[in-house]
Structure 1
Amino acid sequence: MKITDLLKKDGINLKVSAADQNAAIDALIELHEKVGNLNNVSAFKKAILAREEKGSTAIGMGIAVPHGKSFAVAKAGVTAITIPEGIDYKSLDGNPSKLFFMIAAPDTAADTHLEVLSKLMTLLMDSSFAKKLIEANTPDEFLSIIDAKEAEKDKEEAEKKAAAAPAKAPSNKKLLGVTACPTGIAHTFMAAEALELKAKEMGLSIKVEKDGSAGAKDVLTADEIAAADAIIIACDKNIDMERFDGKEVIITSTKEAIHNPEGLIKKANEEKLEVYHFTGTKSASMSSAADETLGRKFYKHLMNGVSHMLPFVIGGGILIALAFLVDTVAGYGATGGGNFGNMLPLSSFLKYVGGLAMGLMVPVLAGYIAYSIADRPGLAVGFVGGMLASSGNAALFSGDAPAFPWVTRLMGEGAPLDGFNTFIGNFAFTNNGATVSGFLGGIAAGFLAGGIILVLKKLTAGFPKSLEGIKPVLIYPLCGVFIIGVLMSFILNPIIGLINVGLSAMLTALQAANLIAVLGLILGAMMAIDMGGPINKAAYVFGTGMLGTAQVLMEKGAEASDPAVVACYIAMASIMVGGMVPPVGIAIACKLFPSKFTESERETWITNIVMGSSFITEGAIPFAAADPAHVIPCTLVGSGIAGLLSAIFGCTLMAPHGGVFVFATVGKWPLYILAWLIGSFITAVMLGLIKKPVNK
């Protein structure tokens, strides 16, 4: 693919008059619309402006390269304008910008077009090439200049590959470099090209690894790093620094590499540099931390956890759904009861493996939130916090027997607990199993774990250098795991445990008062608040308890049609329909309102249909975790209305799980499906109305 495959004649406008930066952006976007590169002009403009807010894309030398990656791009493309008089585009060198290229990239996996765009960026580093483009009189002339330069560059690259690396003078150091920027489209390759061109002028050679959107190019090998004398790290985002341990390193930004490549190369070749020592952390971004708002930092860390959690939710959830399908095909949909999903060896195996995968999602969520905040030392502490959130506190007693040997010694006759041990025994450890804080607790655990490690790093900053090696392997994990254990066991988990006890009491009171419709509303809504967490589980446990109550009533002589028995089955029906709404409602929203979701989120719509249909509410967790303030209210309302309608319609359910696979046990199933669909569409429409577009 050539550059002119992305830059069309109709996408070029020369000698334009523009008053300011906004006018130039509008002119470039208008050209993109003209050649058919966009499917949503306003959304693409928001993506462009959002990128400019992070820092000007005017790279200096009279050139600006605004770019955006968005769902609003129908196909990758480039547009170009020249403004001979120049305008103020907040250039890095303070000079007016005259040559503009606007890159539109689709919000999909990296593709061939990124290679072409990187080539364009490197060509622009030649000032004579840029000058010719500014002086071009027609689009045809503009394109011919690009074609000629591209052919020249391709020939140089071919000759470079064919020829052996030139021998360097003994006095010259062996140099390496790494460049990376947040988008990996423009500055990454321009910084690399600047270093390579300047090194060539100075009679030196340097290999530069480019960490771009399409993945790393020209990756540095272990042997090359071992043989290197100095390494220039010109990055605006975090990269893996462990491989450079013990090497002389310059850490700088892409801006510095683009505008002062000679100074960097001269320093690397002629001076004794500071030796880098890996301490378990990645390199810090060269962008100022002040450039990011607190909300943006929170979102970035949260999304790191969500993106790592997603495969566990999808893989585990679909395996569980397959287990239900196997039992349904085998004829156990109406008779499996509480063992539904475990009636056959195959279904039992699928549910077991899927359950293990699902059980890892909260620890992984917490672990990678902490990792994003505090790098590798945060990982173990975050995982432990997530495990405590998903498993809850241990119980002092298992039935009548103590779960721990010390219980007998400290609670036996004549050996009462002292005050401190009484506090631990009665508060941190419970025997009611109501201390699971779920995915909301996992989010809190992740941020707590990251903060704990940052505090520990500050507290240990003054330690002797001889102790540097033990901090990431002893001090951080030991102190961090202990602190997160205390915070989760004594604060978050017990507090949510108290909430659960109160919820169970409230639900029982509503059932006893025969407020079936209100009960259906509340049970349905509870299923969507924390998507499989403690509130969800409190509702579910209440429902399964109602099934047990119905069984006891019938054993005492009640008929299945008795109001008390029917009320039990109505409660279970409201619970399941409420749990089926969130994933399906989100899936519908992904199709109806694509601008409100990222590409990776939109791709999960089929998975969410499957999981929602299988009564696996956890399919909605990645969306709720990424944007809880908007997603949870929408799912809560939709699920509550579905539960309310199910109860009003008098729908009943005799199985505790299974989704569509146990509809054979549902009374008035057409109305049940109607309640489910109404709740799902309400969730979808609300998401479309209140959720912000992904570019905001």
Structure 2
Amino acid sequence: MKFVAITSCPTGIAHTYMAAEALEQAAGAEGHEMHVETQGAAGSQPLDPGVIAAADAVIYAADLEVRDKERFAGKPFVDVGVKAPISDAAAVLTAATEAAARGAAEPATAPAAPAGGAAPAPATKVTSGGGTGTRVRQWLMTGVSYMIPFVAAGGILIALGFMVGGYEIASVEPTAVIDEFDATSAYSWGALLFLTGGAVFGFLVPVLAGFIAFAIADRPGLAPGFLGGAVSLTVGAGFLGGLVAGFIAGFVALGLTRTPVPPAVRGIMPVVVTPLVASFVTGLTMFLVLGKPLKALMDGLSGWLGSLSGSSLVLLGAIIGLMMAVDMGGPVNKAAYTFATAGLATAGASADGNAVEFTVMAAAMAAGMTPPLGLALATVVRKRLFTQAEQQNGKAAWILGASFITEGAIPFAAADPLRVIPALMAGSAATGGLVAAFGVTLRAPHGGIWVTPLIGNPLLFLLAIVIGTAITCLAVCAVKGIGRRTEAVPTAAEPAASAAA
């Protein structure tokens, strides 16, 4: 049979491509033809229309809205989360085969406009099914996924600026750089990097709000969403204000999109009326109603973070670390990661290199690295506790863990969750607590060991990872040995899993 698939995850970094590879391998093993479009952080290469036309069924393995979903109208489909094929691609493929056998499905486009001329609702992943909580999480993570590249670029540029020019560059005026730039001066280059990174950071909250609104209402939500994010910055409501503004703009735009209008007006609704009215309503709400309360809430959160020190900060680091390992890229992991990146957005271009927000980010990244690293070490230390396929996965886990791709631990956790996941949580909690105790800081939201030069106290950061990796390894080996009379001996018949990218 012939299948096409779309894969996407909130960050667009790991799950997206691991799911694609798992589907391709499962299809190849069954003798089927599989073409996958990865809608990830690196962009996507659209599927050839001829390939789509020839497909027997479509697989949506996505945690975000599927872009250009109308291409698959009328095709039988299976709609699952992105982790489903990573855990059991064969089962997803079986479901797709059964869907193809049942015949054509309802069109995958938005429903037809109702009487009265209301525009159709946008066809997105979040409107295709799931409960309210699921849809809210997907709307939120859509905004976060588009925001992360801005956090990464801005944070790294600012860190490089401080590393090159010193913390004095935080007080530099843009006009001084423009009028007095000296190509031979480290201070000038540092100031340039700092100002560029600060400019990138200025887009964080508008992008977050804009793409939350986009996930809810499609393109009509973009203008009011970005406006809401900009107003949030103006009133000082920051990251929390951006979240709220995105939902307000999205729902107002969606309501206007679904409002019955005369046919003569329908054509200008999405480009004139909806953005205009939704932007005004969003701006009015943020300026006059919610701006002050959200600012007070944001100030309270920032004050609480700033007051943390000693054992309370270590406890927060341990909790963040534990959450990073609970589901390895799932909702709990993303909640912890979003909290950490929100801290970066709050601290922004602060010259305070020891801000608590930067320590929280360091704890999240270090704790997200130790699950795959600990499992990779365990496959070397106690090889006979793991199957041949797991040993092969362990080789890939070294690179995945070092690159802060926690999903490298998923194949091990999926095969033995009750033993493996608690062991991973123990190691990650220890890592997060140690990072906080050491006072390590980090301005970049991703990168793993490859951004070590940008880390405050890099040697202590690496020490925390080494200790956490060792704890994870020892815990995994201990729990996998419980109840075993003999160690598991891998058989030659077991296929070796390829390295997940």
| Larger fraction in strand | 1
| Larger fraction in helix | 2
- Which entry has the higher C-alpha Rg, 1 or 2? 1
TM-score by length of 2: 0.49
TM-score by length of 1: 0.38
Q: Pick 1 or 2: higher relative contact order, CA cutoff 8 A, min separation 6.
A: 2
